[in-house]
């Protein structure tokens, strides 16, 4: 879905990989159009070597499904694609079907702002096989990157210890839609503002910005540049002091601050964008305090991330706010969440029972979990999460309190002493969004509250404690049985 205008999404259905369409045509020809499927979205490892992720992008799933249609222009383009072996890639009958297609999907997802963990479903999609397949790429494109950005931002905000963080990443982001996704997801993750004006217009995110080095360089002297900006923006005056020499820049900023006071205004802050930020921020604080200007704040930028910010505070840097750009927008050092979309169950037309499916793979790490999955989160008396259990909604006799670790079947859990709640919430029914759609501000607040309740040991940056995620006992037994049956069926030894 094009994020540049959420009220008029464009190119939704063609925001996909070609193989989704070739598989859909195959289903059409194979008589599987009416078969039902259940897919889940999950990631295998927490990003940034951390202990958690922040769900984001799920708040736009209903819009994605509701606008998933093939226009006459889309059909004409698909008709023009040639197969490598010659001739048209797609048959006319399939294109005629596609022109009338509407997604008969039901979707459950973790609400935006909630903390999530490896292997558990972030999204569950049910519907016709073709519809589930056609939505895959667009859905992953929506959720993967925004979840990664929201998680990165949450880590930066944690390091900032309550000081303001602004998204400065637009110019380094991966294109216009990437910049908007960063602004949206970083706000959910806890950023206070963005420099991106289009994001401010579309999403209502507070925007922030003052001037660049070019402003200072355009005037005969730095002092003249500062005075001119103070006259132009007396209510939004943050002076960038590192164009030439930071210490002289601070002295010029003090001069302008005194002149602003005489005119009944106040210098809001200075920004330092280079050099030893810890040492220079200490110098600036001492200088402003000595000049009787304790209210002038100190903001810094320059390739910041959670580790840099943590280090600055460890050095006693008196910094009030942070502009975080490149490493936030690019999610350095991990450019991808690695979320995947896997078939978990199928049901032929007219059948009542689902048939669970799983991917075995040559690598145990890539084996999937079968079934119609839901996640039960158990919390203590204070509402703090103590563990999650993946269970199959269709298995009778399920006791979600009893589970085995999702990657180590030798480790068991008993959450019987705790209260539990389901994480996945239905957001789409038969192709239409249902329920209230939280605002970004509400998702941001949900993220803040979820992180406040999460064990600090899980949130720490270095060697975080692994949060308990289990597979309910009956589902775990089903997984073992399916794996054994598939291995026997495929074994060359009889």
Helices of type H across 277-403: 277-290, 306-314, 326-329
Q: Kindly report the CATH number assigned to the domain that includes residue 273.
A: 3.20.20.70
Based on the fold, state whether residues 23 and 146 are members of the same structural domain: yes
Confidence band for 488, pLDDT divided at 50, 70 and 90 = low
* pLDDT score of 349: 83
* pLDDT score of 277: 98
Say if 131 falls within a structural domain.
yes
Based on the fold, state whether residues 288 and 353 are members of the same structural domain: no
Percent of the chain exceeding pLDDT 90 equals 90
Dihedral pair phi/psi, residue 287, rounded to 5°:
-65, -45
Say if 184 falls within a structural domain.
no
**pLDDT value at 28 more than 70:** yes
Q: Which of 243, 271, 298 is the last residue of a domain?
A: 298
**pLDDT value at 297 more than 80:** yes
Predicted TM-score (pTM) of the model is: 0.95
**pLDDT value at 293 more than 50:** yes
Contact of 310 with 461, CB cutoff 8 Å: yes
Confidence band for 317, pLDDT divided at 50, 70 and 90 = very high
Based on the fold, state whether residues 339 and 478 are members of the same structural domain: yes
Q: Which of 298, 319, 342 is the last residue of a domain?
A: 298
**Cα dihedral sign, 172-176-181-183:** positive
Confidence band for 493, pLDDT divided at 50, 70 and 90 = low
* pLDDT score of 9: 52
What value does the mean pLDDT take over residues 281-305? Answer: 97
Based on the fold, state whether residues 45 and 110 are members of the same structural domain: yes
**pLDDT value at 2 more than 60:** no
State which residues form the domain around 215.
Answer: 210-298
Based on the fold, state whether residues 282 and 408 are members of the same structural domain: no
**pLDDT value at 6 more than 50:** no
d(CA 312, CA 310): 6
* pLDDT score of 490: 62
* pLDDT score of 127: 96
Residue 431, phi-psi category: left (phi > 0), alpha (psi -120 to 50), beta (remainder): left
Based on the fold, state whether residues 284 and 365 are members of the same structural domain: no
Based on the fold, state whether residues 230 and 359 are members of the same structural domain: no
Structure tokens at 468: 């308990």
What value does the mean pLDDT take over residues 225-249? Answer: 98
Distances (CA, A) of 440 to 204, 312, 354, 361: 8, 30, 36, 39
Lowest mean pLDDT among 10-24, 231-245, 249-263: 10-24
* pLDDT score of 484: 85
Based on the fold, state whether residues 225 and 291 are members of the same structural domain: yes
Count how many domains the chain has: 2
Q: Kindly report the CATH number assigned to the domain that includes residue 401.
A: 3.20.140.10
Based on the fold, state whether residues 342 and 486 are members of the same structural domain: yes
Confidence band for 1, pLDDT divided at 50, 70 and 90 = very low
What is the DSSP secondary-structure string of 212-267? -HHHHHTSSSHHHHHHHHHHH-TTS-EEE--SS-HHHHHHHHHHHHHHHHHTT---
Contact of 247 with 275, CB cutoff 8 Å: no
Beta strands in 152-295 (DSSP E): 164-167, 193-194, 238-240, 269-272
Q: Which tens digits make up the pLDDT trace of 321-341?
A: 999 999 999 999 999 999 999
Based on the fold, state whether residues 214 and 123 are members of the same structural domain: no
Lowest mean pLDDT among 12-16, 92-96, 201-205, 262-266: 12-16
* pLDDT score of 31: 85
333: cis peptide before it, omega within 30°? yes
Structure tokens at 423: 């994480």
Q: Which of 298, 323, 345 is the last residue of a domain?
A: 298
Say if 429 falls within a structural domain.
yes
Say if 157 falls within a structural domain.
no
Say if 319 falls within a structural domain.
no
Contact of 137 with 64, CB cutoff 8 Å: no
**pLDDT value at 3 more than 60:** no
Say if 78 falls within a structural domain.
yes
Say if 270 falls within a structural domain.
yes
Based on the fold, state whether residues 31 and 119 are members of the same structural domain: yes
Dihedral pair phi/psi, residue 387, rounded to 5°:
170, 155
Q: Which tens digits make up the pLDDT trace of 355-391?
A: 999 988 777 778 899 999 999 999 999 999 999 999 9
Q: What mean pLDDT is reported for the chain?
A: 94
């Amino acid at each position: 879905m094009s994020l540049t205008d959420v009220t008029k999404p464009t190119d939704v259905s063609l925001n996909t990989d070609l193989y989704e369409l070739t598989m859909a045509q195959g289903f059409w020809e194979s008589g599987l159009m009416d078969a039902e499927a259940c897919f889940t979205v999950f990631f295998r490892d927490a990003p940034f070597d951390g202990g958690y992720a922040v769900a984001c992008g799920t708040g736009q799933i209903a819009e994605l499904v509701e606008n998933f249609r093939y226009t006459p222009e889309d059909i004409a383009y698909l008709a023009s694609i040639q197969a490598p072996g010659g001739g048209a890639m797609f048959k006319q009958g399939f294109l005629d079907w596609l022109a009338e297609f509407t997604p008969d999907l039901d979707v459950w997802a973790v609400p935006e702002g909630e903390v999530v963990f490896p292997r558990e479903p972030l999204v569950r999609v049910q519907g016709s096989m073709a519809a589930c397949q056609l939505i895959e790429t667009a859905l992953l494109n929506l959720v993967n990157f925004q979840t990664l950005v929201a998680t990165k931002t949450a880590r930066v905000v944690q390091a900032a210890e309550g000081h303001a963080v602004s998204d400065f990443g637009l110019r380094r982001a991966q294109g216009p839609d990437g910049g908007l996704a960063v602004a949206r997801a970083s706000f959910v993750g806890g950023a206070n503002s963005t420099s991106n004006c289009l994001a401010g217009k579309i999403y209502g995110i507070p925007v922030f910005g003052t001037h660049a080095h070019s402003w200072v360089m355009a005037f005969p002297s730095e002092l003249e540049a500062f005075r001119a900006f103070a006259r132009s923006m007396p209510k939004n005056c943050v002076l960038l002091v590192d164009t030439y020499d930071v210490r002289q820049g601070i002295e010029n900023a003090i001069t302008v601050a005194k002149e602003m006071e005489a005119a009944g205004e106040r210098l809001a802050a200075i920004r330092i964008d280079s050099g030893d930020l810890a040492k220079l921020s200490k110098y600036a604080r001492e200088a402003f305090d000595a000049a009787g200007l304790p209210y002038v704040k100190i903001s810094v930028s320059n390739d910041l991330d959670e580790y840099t910010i943590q280090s600055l505070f460890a050095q006693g840097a008196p910094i009030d706010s942070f502009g975080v750009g490149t490493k936030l927008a690019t999610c350095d050092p991990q450019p991808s969440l690695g979320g995947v979309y896997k078939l978990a169950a199928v049901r032929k037309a007219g059948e009542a029972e689902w048939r669970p499916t799983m991917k075995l793979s040559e690598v145990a790490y890539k084996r999937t979990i079968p079934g119609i999955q839901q996640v039960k989160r158990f919390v203590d008396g204070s509402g703090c999460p103590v563990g999650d259990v993946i269970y199959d909604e269709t298995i009778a006799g399920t006791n979600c309190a009893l589970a085995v670790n999702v990657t180590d079947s030798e480790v068991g859990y008993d959450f019987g002493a705790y209260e539990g709640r389901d994480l996945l919430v239905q957001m789409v029914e038969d192709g239409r969004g249902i329920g209230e759609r939280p605002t970004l501000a509400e998702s941001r607040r949900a993220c803040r509250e979820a992180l406040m309740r999460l064990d600090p040991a899980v949130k720490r940056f270095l060697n975080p404690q692994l949060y308990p995620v289990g597979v309910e006992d009956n589902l775990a037994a089903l997984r073992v049985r399916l794996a054994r049956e598939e291995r026997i069926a495929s074994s060359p030894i009889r």
